[in-house]
């Protein structure tokens, strides 16, 4: 199994630590990059400013409620970009708002997951993401992702 690169776009330090812990407990080793606001997410993906050497992620975990630029705006940017739209985006958020769910799918989110409040349940959800998106789903290989550019 190949290692994949996950971009976690999250501003809550507790959720960042829990997500990293859940992936570390998994049997699959992955590279996780973290940005804490929507503007930084776009800079990372476009390799701007401090992220000029950033690797393209294979999967994005995106919160809805972010500073500077919200998750819906980031998602819309990703899914309208010819270079970025093939990256799967999982909306992973505390929101269970029907508006957030509808807006996420309207902008082509690959799935919408409401974060559980309990720590054990949260760890289980992240483990399920890892099992599905890393062990089961086939993602485009590196050479095809770079050929789009």
Q: Please write the tens of the pLDDT for every residue from 74-99.
A: 999 999 999 999 999 999 988 889 99
Asked: is 5-138 a CATH 3.40.50.2300 domain? The reply is yes
Compute the mean pLDDT over every residue in the chain, rounded to the nearest whole number.
86
Please report the pLDDT score of residue 66 as a whole number: 95
* Residue 145 clears pLDDT 50, i.e. is over it: no
CA dist., res. 37 & res. 33, Å (int): 13
CA dist., res. 18 & res. 13, Å (int): 9
Please report the pLDDT score of residue 132 as a whole number: 83
Q: Model confidence over 96-130: pLDDT tens digits?
A: 899 999 999 999 999 999 988 888 888 888 888 87
CA dist., res. 13 & res. 20, Å (int): 11
Please report the pLDDT score of residue 137 as a whole number: 76
Q: Model confidence over 8-35: pLDDT tens digits?
A: 999 999 889 888 887 777 666 678 999 9
Please report the pLDDT score of residue 115 as a whole number: 87
CA dist., res. 145 & res. 84, Å (int): 9
Average pLDDT estimate for 35-60 = 95
Which pTM value belongs to this model? Answer: 0.87
* Residue 2 clears pLDDT 70, i.e. is over it: no
Residue by residue, DSSP assigns the chain as ----EEEEE---HHHHHHHHHHHHHSSS--EEEEE-SHHHHHHHHTT-GGGTTPPPPSEEEE-SS-SSS-HHHHHHHHHH-TTTTTS-EEEEES---HHHHHHHHHTT-SEEEEPPSSHHHHHHHHHHHHIIIIIISPPPPHHHHHHT-
Taking the CB of residue 109, how many other CB atoms lie within 10 A of it? 24
Phi/psi of residue 75, nearest 5 degrees = -60, -45
CA dist., res. 54 & res. 50, Å (int): 9
Please report the pLDDT score of residue 38 as a whole number: 96
Please report the pLDDT score of residue 124 as a whole number: 83
Residue ranges per structural domain of the chain = 5-138
């Amino acid at each position: 199994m190949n290692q994949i690169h996950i971009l976690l776009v999250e501003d809550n330090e507790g959720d960042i630590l829990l997500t990293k812990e859940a992936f570390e407990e998994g049997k699959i080793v992955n590279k996780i990059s973290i940005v804490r606001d929507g503007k930084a997410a776009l800079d990372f993906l476009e390799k701007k400013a401090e992220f000029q050497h950033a690797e393209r992620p294979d999967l994005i975990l995106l919160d809805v409620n972010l500073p500077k630029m919200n998750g819906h705006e980031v998602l819309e940017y990703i899914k309208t970009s010819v270079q970025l739209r093939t990256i799967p985006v999982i909306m992973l958020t505390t929101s269970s708002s029907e508006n957030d769910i509808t807006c996420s799918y309207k902008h082509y989110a690959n799935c919408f997951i409401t974060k559980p409040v309990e720590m054990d349940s949260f760890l289980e959800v992240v483990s399920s993401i890892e099992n599905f998106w890393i062990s089961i789903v086939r993602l485009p290989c590196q050479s095809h992702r770079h050929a789009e550019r």
